[in-house]
Structure 1
Amino acid sequence: MESIDELQRELAIIEKWEKDQRKIWFWERIGRLPFKLLDKLTPQFIHNKIGTLLEEIGVYIQSGGKYLVNKNKLYKVIETETKMSIRTSSDVKGIPLYSMEKISKEVVARRTRFAAFQGATTGIGGIFTLAIDIPALLTVSLKTLQEISIIHGYDPDEKSERVFIIKCLQFSLADVVGKRAILNELSSFNYGRSRSDKLFSQIQGWREVVYTYREQFGWKKLFQMVPVAGVVFGAATNKAMMTNLSEACMMFYRKRVILERLEKMKEVKEY
């Protein structure tokens, strides 16, 4: 297991990443503007799809719905990598940080390739197949975040973890102002101790996640609406989104693991 110094160095890296996320980029300000106008021109069936996503996100938060992944299958992958007996999420919490990172990157790479292929496929038909791409990408995103959660020793069967996952998703889609707010929320999460109830009240704005999910593509997704040419842009956009989303999720879960381990070491030292 890692020493206190090693954990503190890893924590410093994550905190530097969080600080960088608070910086603003010009394209983030204008990236959503084309979709504001495009919204008025979008066919009703696409708006209906967005409405369905709202309902599905609500179901996911409450029960997991159809999005829950197979934990036991992932436990076997972790067992193969670490040569340790893994039966529960508590067992996973005992594996080294570098193993968590390695397995997470392998899972993310596989999911990202799938999302890129999906974006290329749905880009063939332009605006009409975009209606398929948006909910499909949401499905891949949620499953990827759950897998990262499991690899770090947390159970997405628990409602509190599903809420945390949605906050990670919301963070990756937010503009810089939203990122700052969510970073403050997550930094106040009672790591390593009792679960904070604040996230449950803060997630009441989860409807914003779905609308932001669509809008955050901005001008990049506009190109996917052009039949055939959308193949290239669809693949590139989906890949970029999955990369950013996975990075954020891995950072937040890695931070939780580090802080919990530091807390336990502190308790042992005091004892």
Structure 2
Amino acid sequence: MTETKEWLTEELTKVEVWEKDQSDLWFWERLGRLPFKLIDKWTPAIIQEKMGVMIDELGQYVQTGGSYLSSVSSLSSYYPDQSIQSLEDTAKLPITTMDQAVEKLSISRKKLAAIQGASTGIGGIFTLTIDIPLLLGLQLKTLQDIAICYGYNPYEKEERLFIVKCLQFVSADIVGKNAILVQLSKFDDKDVSVKREVLSELQGWREVVFTFRDQLGWKKLFQMIPLAGLIFGAFINRSAINDVAEAGMMLYRKRKIIDRLSTIQTTKES
């Protein structure tokens, strides 16, 4: 299918409708955060320590990529009918093909998250300290691989910054979501100050980490119950990855559509 200007504009409108729909989550997000705010002072020290580890982990991820970086070849199975050898090959694919690859990736990661959540939920609060950093890692890995599917290079530090902002978007309230959407809409501007502004607003990664904790809220409280945590853990982690995959797909899809529209406009002008 030829990606005409009309088709790209229509698809961009669909993404913008999704962005507006995010405002409907505001009440439930506030409700979900309330229990954790009430018991914050009684949160076990070991979990608080894990939050500190996550802050360091996010900082390391943006700087170096850490252990999360993967190659295009590791995602080639999501393109069964395509010969993919490099990131440049994925960047040239039709957007519909990219979408299909991300959907397959999302299904695979949700299954993995459910298994991970169930296995770490068996021991209640004792294994919850293991589950929190594992879930963060899986979310980062999923967003990074979505970036690759849409032809963006997570080996670049600036791209990893975009990925962390996607993670922050999922955890933010409605005011935060709107602010992040404004930032990400300018992310591909050549003005370096735009990226510096995005970096400074992460506030030393703490904003991301604590909204990440609050967003899990009451859900993780149920996972603290031994054995019952198996069921809650599977559901919670699967839901978390589903939210991240949906946001990652929409935000990266929007970037790619705008990029293709810009290319069409440039071609016409020349």
RMSD: 1.7
Bigger Cα displacement from structure 2, 251-260 vs 211-220: 211-220
Task: Say if 2:170 and 2:244, in contact at 8 Å, map to a contact too.
Answer: yes
Distance 1:224 1:100 in 2: 35
- Match of 2:91? 93
Distance 2:123 2:188 in 1: 46
Distance 1:168 1:82 in 2: 29
Asked if residue 262 in structure 1 is aligned to residue 269 in structure 2, the reply is no
Distance 1:60 1:222 in 2: 28
Distance 1:239 1:157 in 2: 27
Distance 2:24 2:185 in 1: 17
Q: CA deviation at 1:72?
A: 2.6
Give the TM-score normalised by the residue count of structure 1. 0.93
SS, match of residue 66 in structure 1: coil
- Match of 1:189? 187
- Match of 2:221? 222
The one-letter amino acid paired with 1:9 is: E
- Match of 2:238? 239
Task: Say if 1:82 and 1:95, in contact at 8 Å, map to a contact too.
Answer: no
The one-letter amino acid paired with 2:70 is: V
Matches for 1:78-227 after TM superposition, within 5 Å: 80-84=79-83, 86-190=84-188, 196-197=194-195, 198-227=197-226
Task: Say if 2:166 and 2:248, in contact at 8 Å, map to a contact too.
Answer: yes
SS, match of residue 156 in structure 1: coil
Distance 1:202 1:47 in 2: 22
Task: Say if 2:124 and 2:229, in contact at 8 Å, map to a contact too.
Answer: yes
Q: 1:24 to 1:103 in 2, by over 3 A?
A: closer
Distance 1:190 1:28 in 2: 29
Identity of aligned pairs, percent? 50
Q: 1:101 to 1:232 in 2, by over 3 A?
A: same
The one-letter amino acid paired with 2:266 is: E
Task: Say if 2:26 and 2:173, in contact at 8 Å, map to a contact too.
Answer: no
Unaligned runs of 5+ in 2: none
- Match of 1:8? 9
Bigger Cα displacement from structure 2, 177-186 vs 35-44: 35-44
SS, match of residue 125 in structure 1: coil
Q: CA deviation at 1:234?
A: 1.1
Unaligned runs of 5+ in 1: none
Q: CA deviation at 1:100?
A: 0.5
- Match of 2:77? 77
Q: CA deviation at 1:141?
A: 0.5
**Superposed CA offset, 1:38-64 (max 9, x none):** 322222222111111111111001111
Task: Say if 1:163 and 1:203, in contact at 8 Å, map to a contact too.
Answer: no
Q: 1:205 to 1:177 in 2, by over 3 A?
A: farther
Q: 1:112 to 1:248 in 2, by over 3 A?
A: same
Distance 1:64 1:24 in 2: 31
**Superposed CA offset, 1:5-31 (max 9, x none):** 111110000011111113354221121
SS, match of residue 101 in structure 1: helix
The one-letter amino acid paired with 2:111 is: R
